[in-house]
Amino acid sequence: MSDPVLSGVRVLEVGGGISVAFAAKWLAGFGADVVRVDPEEEMLTADEQVYLLAGKRRAGPEADAARLALAADIVIEGDDPGDVVKHLRRVQPEALRAAKPEIVVVSITPYGQDGPYAGYDATNITSFAMGGIMSLTGMPQREPLVTGGSQALYLGGLNGFGAALTAYLGRLVHGEGDWVDISLQECMAGMLELYGPGGAISGVPSVRSGNHVRAAWGIYPCADGFAGVCALERQISALFECVGDPELQEPRFRDITLRAENDDELQAKFYGWFAERTKQEILDLGAKYKVPFGAVMTPLDLLANQSLLERGFFDAIQTPGGTAMTPGRPFLGLPWVPGELHAPGADTRAVLDDWLGVRA
Amino acid sequence: MKKLPLEGIRVADLTMMWAGPFATRILAEMGAEVIKIESPRAWDNIRTLIPQPGVEEPWNSSFYFNDYNRDKKSLTLDLAQEPGKQTFLRLVAKCDVVIENYRADVLDNLGLGYEVLREARPDIILVSMAGYGKTGPERDQVGFGPIIEQMSGLASLTGYGDDGIPMKTGLSYGDPVAGKAAAAAVALALIQRRKTGEGAFIDLAQREVMSTLIGEAFVAASLRGEEPKHRGNRDDRYFAQGVYRVAGEDQWLAVTLRTPGQWNDLAHHFGLDPDLGGLEGAALLDEVDRRLGEWLKDKDPQWALEALAGRAIPAGRVLNTVDIHNDPHLEAREFWVELPHPRMPAWKQPRSAWNLREAMAAPRRHAPLFGEHNDEILRGLLGLTGEELAALAAAEVISGAPVNPGIG
């Protein structure tokens, strides 16, 4: 296997939250020398630290982030934007860009670097709300629901990773880096499926659809948990054949318009069908009939999933509490380096030596 | 004018539906020339996913298609026919990247697997984004975004917490997440090619990408055997958190109180009773919810957002799919762009979240009409003659309209 793609690339992570840590995690996995400047007060939970910080060198909060940034190729930062708190910002993107034209700076914040909300405080749920996805999530008769985990923050990291690589490629090809301004709100507002453009055009907001957009697109209780289906029109025949109920061949279910009018009855049939089968039985039928079936898997289920194991998806991270198995490379095809977990501030001296030539 | 990062990169785009086209929309906005390739017989179902009865050429006037395929060129080619396949390989020779999101077996069944593409262009980058990847016992399963969310573990973490029911996200969440990762993979593979001269075969499983967004849940499961816990809208790391009804039709506000101090500040400043007695745990959270709910129920949502921001308390309007297009902040950041389209009135489309402050990437051109660039690409780029084009058209290898316009 050849060298990791990003070997020799220096990345500085400043800011402490999930977004910057996730963006830099993948850069580390693909071979970059990632240095995280630890925050004064750790913002990540113990489990998040295991997942997001493995593979990174850790400099203590006393390290001079501004100086380290000048020695980096890519800086991922998440400090508050705005003139009011400018003196608190550990790296100054404009100054960095002016001093080093080839550097890539990626700033990840809830609302971006400017605009009326730029200085507003935010959390995962408030960002998720402002991004539009939450208005669609949950039961229509109840309050909107935030999706599990910390999706708004992770999306910031996912976007930060892609934007950092793209801007870095631009630097390699065209000679100059850029300052990428990632707003969590924009990460979500630009991925509203058909509901986004639909709302823009019709002026009518989409409603929360709970677990059923329609009968053939939803989640149902099954014999050992929950399973789901998401069939397009071209898969309806296969779905009905798989379910096997002869009534499904009648026009009120076969015809797309009549089917919508009889959606409740169809849902009732599916409730009955799913209830009698296990998750695995349903998945097997999906493969056999080429119907998009799914099952609600837990992380424990997935740690034993044959496909993920065969594809070498998980990284083993040694922790004081034992070996943690975490999602590893996001895709196959380029070398990936599962990292080790370093203690906070453990690498300050080494980093100052390597990056700045400062010997303690 | 500063160059966009992907200027000079050409992408042969075989993707359909949402995940793949979302990836290539980003690549196009970042400067790549993206050629969207559809068969006149098997075209992107998104074009007619939403029926438009009575509309002429509905395949050209779908807002769903046109939103996610702007800045691209449209070429029709039936890859199931030999002349279509050969023409495609001639195009691959002039491309840097091929990207597809077919089911795992489809590209190989077409006789266009990675090794075949490499013969046409030795340093080609192929990005495959099947639901479960190209290998493994689940590779033959069909996966769309909502299914991916279930199979990744994410749906098991989402729920109100009082009914035991896992909930789906209100859109096909697995799609755009995989799309973003695929666009990133293209950049990474191009960096490698620049370093080594070698192409790459990226095998991206949409389910795996989705699982990476809940990594800490895998840590909890593997270290302590923890099962998912539905927490509704609450979050253990803060003093209190919830979503509250405000004035207006289905209008809501999300609020986080990081500390008891923020509760006291809010209560004193806005005239709520701050005294929570000796309440603890769920009883305390329920009481905070009750008082915030009572206070907020007749407040204007924008007023409430700004008032709480004024006290440095995190709050967010649950912006619906109409209000988000009128949000003053997104407006000020020029996030929405209106592009004229020959078959539709202009609407507010989002620019990429990859906001390059210097190169200023932005949407440039509306989505192409079906087969709009056949001539430009086949004649201009590949040098086909008029006779060759006529032969391809006669065999319905290329076409200016779907051969079987129907329902997706």
Q: Which tens digits make up the pLDDT trace of B19-51?
A: 999 999 999 999 999 999 999 999 998 998 888
Per-residue confidence (pLDDT) for residue B54, from 0 to 100: 86
Q: Which residue of B has its CA nearest to A309?
A: B136
Domains belonging to chain A, first-starting first, are 10-191+309-356 (3.40.50.10540), 212-298 (3.30.1540.10)
Nearest-CA neighbor of A154 among B24, B319, B318, B211?
B211
E-strand spans in B179-267? 200-203, 240-245, 252-257
Is pLDDT above 80 for A84? no
Contact B304, B253 (CB under 8 A): yes
Are A308 and B136 within 8 A, CB to CB? Answer: yes
A308 at interface of B, judged by CB pairs closer than 8 A? yes
Count CA atoms within 13 Å of residue B334 on its CB side: 6
Are A307 and B232 within 8 A, CB to CB? Answer: no
pLDDT band at B408 (very low <50, low <70, confident <90, very high): very low
Q: Choose among A5, A131, A211: nearest Cβ to B191.
A: A5
pLDDT tens-digit series, residues B293-310: 999 999 999 999 999 999
Is pLDDT above 90 for A334? yes
Q: B267 φ, ψ to 5°? A: -60, -45
Q: Choose among A219, A300, A327: nearest Cβ to B166.
A: A219
Mean pLDDT value across chain A: 96
Q: Choose among B144, B153, B333: nearest Cβ to A112.
A: B333
Q: How far is A280 from chain B (nearest CA, A)?
A: 11
Q: How far is A83 from chain B (nearest CA, A)?
A: 16
Residues in A closer than 8 angstroms to B226, CB to CB, are: 300
pLDDT band at A86 (very low <50, low <70, confident <90, very high): confident
pLDDT band at A16 (very low <50, low <70, confident <90, very high): confident
Please, which residues bridge with residue A11 across strands? Answer: A34, A74
Residues in B closer than 8 angstroms to A2, CB to CB, are: 196, 198
Contact B15, B98 (CB under 8 A): no
Among residues 115-174 of chain A, which lie with CB inside 8 Å of chain B?
A: 115-118, 120-139, 142-149, 151, 154-155, 158-159, 161-163, 165-170, 172-174
Q: Which of A161, A191, A271 is the best substitution to test chain B (most B C-beta atoms within 10 A)?
A: A191
> Degrees (nearest 5) of the Cα angle B290, B294, B299?
140
Which residue in the block uniquely carries the two structure tokens 């982030």? A65
Nearest-CA neighbor of A59 among A107, A119, A16, A104?
A16
SS3 A18: helix
Are A287 and B141 within 8 A, CB to CB? Answer: yes
Q: Which residue of A has its CA nearest to B136?
A: A307
pLDDT band at A2 (very low <50, low <70, confident <90, very high): confident
Contact B85, B109 (CB under 8 A): no
Q: Choose among A97, A149, A204: nearest Cβ to B154.
A: A149
**ipTM score assigned to the predicted complex:** 0.98
Are B188 and A334 within 8 A, CB to CB? Answer: yes
pLDDT band at B140 (very low <50, low <70, confident <90, very high): confident
Residue type, B256: T
Are B314 and A218 within 8 A, CB to CB? Answer: no
A98 at interface of B, judged by CB pairs closer than 8 A? no
As a whole number of Å, the CA-based R_g of chain A is 24
Are B349 and A200 within 8 A, CB to CB? Answer: yes
pLDDT tens-digit series, residues B373-385: 999 999 999 999 9
Q: Which of A125, A283, A326 is the best substitution to test chain B (most B C-beta atoms within 10 A)?
A: A125
pLDDT tens-digit series, residues A174-199: 999 999 999 999 999 999 999 999 99
Are A230 and B144 within 8 A, CB to CB? Answer: yes
- In this structure, what token pair is assigned to residue B109? 């069944």
Per-residue confidence (pLDDT) for residue B406, from 0 to 100: 61
Query: Between A and B, how many residue pairs show a Cβ–Cβ distance under 8 A?
Result: 508
Are A324 and B143 within 8 A, CB to CB? Answer: no
Residues in B closer than 8 angstroms to A30, CB to CB, are: 188
Q: Choose among B149, B169, B184: nearest Cβ to A162.
A: B184
Contact A32, A9 (CB under 8 A): yes
Residues in B closer than 8 angstroms to A299, CB to CB, are: 153, 156, 214, 217-218, 220-222, 228
Are A122 and B165 within 8 A, CB to CB? Answer: no
A179 at interface of B, judged by CB pairs closer than 8 A? yes
pLDDT tens-digit series, residues A260-286: 999 999 999 999 999 999 999 999 999
Q: Which residue of A has its CA nearest to B244?
A: A143
Q: Choose among B226, B250, B325: nearest Cβ to A199.
A: B325
Is pLDDT above 80 for A39? yes
A249 at interface of B, judged by CB pairs closer than 8 A? no
Residues in A closer than 8 angstroms to B6, CB to CB, are: 166, 169-170
pLDDT tens-digit series, residues A104-146: 999 999 999 999 999 999 999 999 999 999 999 999 999 999 9
Domains belonging to chain B, first-starting first, are 10-214+332-407 (3.40.50.10540), 240-325 (3.30.1540)
Q: Distance (Å, rounded) from C-alpha A165 to C-alpha A74?
A: 9
Q: B334 φ, ψ to 5°? A: 50, 45
pTM, whole model, 2 decimals? 0.98
- In this structure, what token pair is assigned to residue B130? 């099947």
Are B321 and A174 within 8 A, CB to CB? Answer: no
A92 at interface of B, judged by CB pairs closer than 8 A? no
Per-residue confidence (pLDDT) for residue A83, from 0 to 100: 66
Contact B17, B101 (CB under 8 A): yes
Residues in B closer than 8 angstroms to A151, CB to CB, are: 169, 173, 213
Residues in B closer than 8 angstroms to A280, CB to CB, are: none
Please, which residues bridge with residue B336 across strands? Answer: B350
Contact B158, A139 (CB under 8 A): no
pLDDT tens-digit series, residues A199-257: 999 999 999 999 999 999 999 999 999 999 999 888 999 999 999 999 999 999 999 88
- Averaged pLDDT for residues B213-236: 97
Q: Distance (Å, rounded) from C-alpha B107 to C-alpha B302?
A: 50
User: What is the distance in angstroms between the CA of the first residue and the CA of the last residue of chain B?
Assistant: 42
Per-residue confidence (pLDDT) for residue A81, from 0 to 100: 83
Are A166 and B353 within 8 A, CB to CB? Answer: no
pLDDT tens-digit series, residues B353-365: 999 999 999 999 9
pLDDT band at B52 (very low <50, low <70, confident <90, very high): confident
Which residue in the block uniquely carries the two structure tokens 């279910």? A253
Q: Choose among A192, A201, A297: nearest Cβ to B171.
A: A192
- Averaged pLDDT for residues B306-316: 97
Mean pLDDT value across chain B: 96
